[in-house]
Amino acid sequence: MRWLDFPEYVGARLLLALLRSLGPVAASNVAGRLARWLGPLLPVSRVAHRNLRAAMPGLPRAERRRVIRAVWENLGRTVGELPHLASLDVTAEGPGFVVEGAEHLRSGPAIYISAHYGNWEALPVIVARSGYLFSSFYRAARNARVDALIQALRLTALRGDVPMFPKGAAGARGAVAHLAGGGAIGMLLDQKLNDGIEVPFLGLPAMTAPAAAAFALRYRYPVIPGRIEREAPARLRLIVEAPLSLPDSGDREADIRTLTGDINARLGAWISANPGAWLWLHRRWAKETIDAALRRARA
């Protein structure tokens, strides 16, 4: 245990209590505006600048700055809305959500795919409110007490007993058993995986997790893309798209690569249309890939 663990835990509880006391709209506004002001000053914003220059070389510098401010604002709003997810419900206006493409949701086994886009924390919650539950992978926080606090918020918002799988070998085994038993699972597939497979993402080669494609092809379960678009503070729209086509060439490895590429293309289309909604702060591509792309952009 690190000596900072307890102060971090106390700070997290105080922050969540403050955000909860503000109400969903005010919490979203306060956290979003604070992050929009402070975030671009942090060193991690250099990662976003490099990513944008490499993946979207046509963006002027001023537009990159605007996108990065929007990224931080979206992240802040996502944090601000987190303690209010349990109280959000379907509504025609004001705090809450609407669903577009609900006909694509499935009551049986399925693999839902998305990215760190919009309010990604709200996606499983809104699907659950629509009458469907799916389990998710999650990256555990380094601080176990903070991690337990966040997991409790997520489970409370889901209003159901849903298994959650930590990233790693044990989580993967649990997810396989869950799928084999007819369960549904959700995956955020926009982060670098060093031992993944290399397929294009936003026009650049990117090491990508093949698990969603492998699971889908093994069980012939539908792969359903979905994303959250933010319409206003604490006002969210879930857009569910038709399932992706599952290749069946007879070559399993080739089919996994094809489907993984199709998944990346789908996520990339969302990001290209609304770049400020995606978390460009990730080191999504290898340093060598970014360096090569920047050299091409300068040539």
Residue 299: which pLDDT band, with cuts at 50, 70 and 90? low
Q: What is the mean pLDDT of residues 228-232?
A: 94
State the chain's mean pLDDT as an integer: 91
Whose tokens are 């026009």? That residue is 203
Over the stretch 191-222, which tens digit does the pLDDT of each residue have? 988 889 999 999 999 999 999 999 999 999 99
CB environment 185-209: b (16+ within 10 A), e (fewer): bbbbbbbbeeebbebebbebebbbb
The set of residues, in sequence order, having a beta carbon less than 8 Å from that of 16 and lying 6+ positions away, is: 82, 83, 149, 153
pLDDT of residue 3: 64
Tell which wins on pLDDT, 157 or 37.
37
Q: What is the mean pLDDT of residues 84-109?
A: 87
pLDDT of residue 258: 97
Q: What is the mean pLDDT of residues 39-52?
A: 96
| In the predicted structure, residue 182 carries a pLDDT above the cut 80 | yes
Highest mean pLDDT among 71-75, 143-147, 169-173, 291-295: 71-75
| In the predicted structure, residue 79 carries a pLDDT above the cut 70 | yes
Name the percent of the chain lying above pLDDT 70. 98
CA-nearest of 77, 68, 64, 75 to 26 is 77
pLDDT of residue 167: 78
Find out whether 119 and 228 touch, Cβ atoms under 8 Å. Answer: yes
| In the predicted structure, residue 22 carries a pLDDT above the cut 90 | yes
Other Cβ atoms within 10 Å of 245 Cβ, number: 11
pLDDT of residue 187: 92
| In the predicted structure, residue 82 carries a pLDDT above the cut 90 | yes
Domain ranges of the chain: 5-298
| In the predicted structure, residue 99 carries a pLDDT above the cut 80 | yes
pTM of the model: 0.93
What's the CA gap between 284 and 123, in Å, rounded?
A: 22
Residue 1: which pLDDT band, with cuts at 50, 70 and 90? low
